Amino acid sequence: MEAEILREIVADNRELEQKLTKKNEQYIFDLKKSLRAANLSEEAQALALQEILPELVAGQKSGRTARQLFGTVSERTQAILEKPEEKPESTPFWMWLDNTLLLFGVLTIMTAVMMMLSKGKNQPMGLLTCVFGAMVGGYSFYLLYKYIYQYDRPGVNKANRPGWLKTGAILIGSMLLLLMAFTATMALPPAINPVLDPVVSIILGGITFGARYLLKKKYNMHGSFTGR
């Protein structure tokens, strides 16, 4: 989990804690102490409280206490500790790599299909165009996720979402960056930017998708398209 998101969750938790009754406040205090004694990480503690606090604040309106909702502190601690550990989120590098592999696989297969359908009438994308287009596109989509799409996720403070002006600038800048990558590489000669045989291009795309699948399983890799 990115440090910025963790800070937002902690801030939201503190805001909810201020709405607790004295009895429920003591329960959360004891629960935190119990979780720290169990050596639970700060991130895991924040996520556990993120699940509890909204329900606890809502339950107060009908007079329900933390113990009635979640059992004793010991019982809740054990339930949190026994919960299957969630895999950590992708880092920016893994998000970029996932985006890049996905785009490269799509571009190579799409190029092969267009070559077979057009029968040489249209200029196909060369290998270098697919590589650079996928790399730049992967970074552009990561920026879109970081500054825009991540704020659609639950638990993220939407107050930090960029304004419309900044959002528009990010969208336009990302698309221009991608367009420049395609335009610059497509102007290169075939000796530098070779056009692959359609069959080879399809095989390369298939290998890319296979590599992406294995990396996702091993490293919990998620891109901008699956991280929302």
Could you read off the pLDDT tens digit of each residue along the chain, which spans 228 residues? Answer: 567 788 888 899 999 999 999 999 999 999 999 999 999 888 889 989 998 999 999 999 888 889 999 999 999 999 888 876 555 566 889 999 999 999 999 999 999 999 888 876 677 899 999 999 999 999 999 988 888 888 776 556 666 778 888 888 988 988 898 899 899 998 899 999 999 999 999 999 999 999 999 998 888 788 887 654
Q: What is the pLDDT of residue 159?
A: 67
Domains of the chain: which residue ranges? 3-82, 92-219
Q: What is the pTM assigned to this prediction?
A: 0.62
Beta strands per DSSP E along 73-172: none
The pair of three-digit structure tokens given for residue 116, joined into one six-digit string: 């077979």
CB 85 within 8 A of CB 220: no
CB 225 within 8 A of CB 137: no
